[in-house]
Amino acid sequence: MIDLHCHILPNIDDGPSDIEGSLAMCRMASADGIKVIVATPHFKPGLFTLPTFDEVSEATILLNERLAEEEVDLKILIAAEVRLTTDTLDYLVKERFLCFNGNGRYFLMEFPNRLETLPEGWESLIGSLLRAGYRPLIAHPERNFYFIKNPYKLVRAVRSGAMLQLTAQSVTGKAGEEAQDFSNFLLAEGLVHSISTDSHSTTSRPTVLTDAVISASEIIGEEKAIDLVTTIPQAIIDGRDIAFPE
C-alpha cells in the first residue's frame, strides 16, 4: 500500500520531534503492509515556517538510510501539504518538490478545516492551477465544515479536475460520525482518489490503512477500495494521467 499524506519527517512541522518517533511510525506502517510513504510537511505561507527542499531532502535521506539499516521494507518519498493561497501557483513553479515526487503535476492541497467559509475566489484559484497543468489532491475534505454544508461545491471542483483524498480514520469512523458519513457519500459518488493516514505520530492518526480499506470496501467493493491505496496513488506519484469522474 501507499500512503500519500503523512507528517513523518522529524522536527519539520507538527509531526515527530525526533527520528526515533519517525522510525516508530515507519515500523507501524510496515507492519500494516504499507510500502511507500510520501512525506508531506505543511507548507502554509504565513502560518508555518516554510520547509525548504534542502531540509526536506536531507531529513528524507537520513530516514531512508535508517530504514535500510534496520531492514524495514519501506521507502519515503517527498512532497508537501500545500495550503491554497493566491500565491500557490507561484510556489509550485518555484518549488518543484511540492508536487508528488517532484513530478510537476499532482500536489496535495488543503483548506482550513474548521471554518464554514473558504478563502474568497477559491474556485477560481483551482481553475488557474488546472489551466497551468497542476491537479490538486484535496486533503481531508470530509473534515471540512464548508464542504460538509456545501457538498455540491466539492462535487463541482472534482468534476472540473480536482481530486479528493480521505483520511483513514474518517473512513473507519474514528474521526466522528459526521466525517464518516461524508466520507461514505464521497466514496459512493465515485469522487475519491485516495485514502491516506494524515498521520503525525503512532497515536495521532496512526500510520495504518488496512482498517480504512475494509470500511471502504463495504461502500465501493474490495477492488475499488484497494485501488485507493495502491494503483491510483502510484499513478499520482508517477505523474500519469488519471481519468476525471463522469
Fold of 2-238: TIM Barrel (3.20.20)
Q: What does the pLDDT look like over 83-107, one tens digit per residue?
A: 999 999 999 999 999 999 999 999 9
Rounded Cα gap, residues 207 and 202, in angstroms: 7
Give the per-residue pLDDT at 113.
66
Rounded Cα gap, residues 182 and 184, in angstroms: 5
In the structure grid, which three cell numbers stand for residue 228, read together? 485507493
240: CB partners within 8 A, 6+ apart? none
The domain spans of the chain are 2-238
Q: What does the pLDDT look like over 174-193, one tens digit per residue?
A: 999 999 999 999 999 999 99
Environment class of 132 (CB within 10 Å of its CB; exposed 0-12, middle 13-18, buried 19+): exposed
Give the per-residue pLDDT at 14.
82
pTM of structure? 0.95
Helix/strand/coil for 145:
helix
- DSSP class of residue 244 equals P
Sign of CA dihedral 193, 242, 38, 134: negative
49: left (phi over 0), alpha (psi -120 to 50) or beta: beta
Instruction: Enumerate residue ranges in the chain where pLDDT < 70.
Output: 113-117, 245-246
